[in-house]
Amino acid sequence: MKVYLAGPDVFLPDAAAMAAEKKRLCALYGLEGVFPTDPRPDPAADAAPDLWYAIYLRNEAHIRACDALVANLTPFRGPSADAGTVYELGFMRALGRPVLGYSNDDADFSTRTRRFLGDAARRDAEGEWVDGEGLSLESFGLTDNLMIDGGIRAADGMLVRRAVPAAQRWSDLTGFEACLKALATRNG
């Protein structure tokens, strides 16, 4: 089973080392990990006039070639998961394949959003949380936006949420490994 390894890990200073470690863990469970930066011959990508578009085409080709996806949904540059990762998760979900995820922040989305907004978050006249523009905040106790949690649940996937110290936020792979175990069990 080929597993697409979605997440903001591609932005880490040691992205190649993280890719190698995630692939090593996949192999322990009889899975083949596919990292977004893995080379993939693709005539459309090779002909793309812009690097960003070539990357997009290759990543989408990787996703189509995989049987499942495990997403690092740890909040990235704000209270929510990386937007590209969320797109990839939704794309794989639309293909009808298994999607699983993990977050190394156990605070729910509403709590993280209020923390991010600071004084701009307030309660409205009905007691509901809103932002500085008066727009309502999701308050379902979920890991992230309801479409992310819902997509994983609808795919009969798994979403692991763990409290990890800030210094290990991007290196702790305990939640990732739990997802691999679940995939291997499902596959085996």
Q: Give every CB contact of residue 15 below 8 A, 6+ residues apart in sequence.
A: 9, 37
Residues of the chain with CATH 3.40.50.450: 2-108+143-187
**pLDDT digit string (tens) for 69-97?**
999 999 999 999 999 999 999 999 999 99
Q: What are phi and psi of 69, to 5 degrees?
A: -140, 135
Task: State the pLDDT at residue 187.
Answer: 75
How far apart are the C-alpha atoms of 103 and 81, rounded to whole Å? Answer: 9
**pLDDT digit string (tens) for 126-184?**
999 999 999 999 999 999 999 999 999 999 999 999 999 999 999 999 999 999 999 99
pTM of the entire structure? 0.95
Task: State the pLDDT at residue 42.
Answer: 84
pLDDT interval class at 43 (50, 70, 90):
confident
Is the domain spanning 2-108+143-187 CATH 3.30.830.10? The answer is: no
**Whether the predicted pLDDT of 62 surpasses 80:** yes
For the chain, what percent of residues have pLDDT higher than 70?
99
Determine which helix (DSSP H) or strand (DSSP E) holds 104, and give its type and residue range. Answer: none
Cβ distance 33 to 26 under 8 Å?
Answer: yes
Task: State the pLDDT at residue 95.
Answer: 98
The rounded mean pLDDT for the chain is 96
pLDDT interval class at 6 (50, 70, 90):
very high
How far apart are the C-alpha atoms of 40 and 188, rounded to whole Å? Answer: 27
